[in-house]
A = this chain, B = another copy of it.
Amino acid sequence: MNVLWIYAHPEARSLNGALRDEGLRTLTGLGHRHRQSDLYAMGWNAVVDHADFDQDPDTRLVVGAESKRAYESGGLSADIRREHEKIDWADTIVFQFPLWWFGMPAILKGWFDRVFVKGFAYGVREPNGRTARYGAGTLAGKRAMIIVTAGGGESAFSPRGINGDLDELLFPIQHGTFWYAGLTVLPPLAVFGADRLSEADYEAAAEALRERLQTLDDTPAIAYRKQNTGDYDDDHVLLPDRAAGQRGLSVHRVPQA
């Protein structure tokens, strides 16, 4: 298996750095190939701008249209094209980051903003003319998984915890980005209380990580609903008889037996 590991933490001498090293060692031991995008080490530019598209800075920037033109003409900047080449190579993409303000660090958000351009990750059509997204698209067949550390304790991220349920906090990433672009989404691995792990806590986290990597092939994916297979109406609203009477982000999962 080919695994691309996207790492978004400023400090290698950290819990995240230790888990990253453990993860890459484990993949090697399992006989998988891996490549890495260590965003801080690469000095990754997080900010979408004219330069991404080889566009005259005096021209009005319409990001979607301009990104599609540059993607199709080979005019995207070299750093973006290198990430596309890594994604093309990968079967599975791991995104590892600390939860900052209940989301990704800006350097990782900027990876999606700049790399997931129109034509590459969205804005394509199926043969029947429907827009290919949410379970379909150019990245379909590849898998994505989040590894996230959080300072807060697990209870605060539970279904009635004050921070919000972790799965719902990650919805814009897992559903709105991964699934939107066609990626199959594996459940996240979360390490809570990250600022005060004991050695035993760290060992438990490393063991959980190893187990997730050993079972990459078998772990059931999150069963998000597809857009174009009959669950949604033409306005992209869930049909009344699906998750009948319910609302909230969880309605977008297929109920499991």
Contact = CB atoms under 8 A, between A and B. Distances in A.
Contacts of A156: 235-237
B171 A169 contact: yes
A78 interface: no
Nearest to A176: B102
Contacts of A180: 101
Contact of A100 (B98, B101, B104, B113): B113
A107 B47 contact: yes
Interface in A221-257: 225, 227, 232, 235-238, 243, 247-252
Q: How many copies does the complex hold?
A: 2
23 contacts: A10-B48, A10-B63, A14-B60, A14-B62, A40-B47, A46-B106, A47-B106, A64-B195, A101-B112, A101-B172, A101-B173, A101-B176, A102-B177, A103-B172, A103-B176, A152-B236, A163-B176, A164-B176, A164-B252, A165-B247, A168-B171, A168-B248, A247-B250
Contact of A61 (B10, B61, B175, B227): B10
Contacts of A162: 134, 225, 227, 232, 236-238, 252
A87 to B, nearest CB: 15
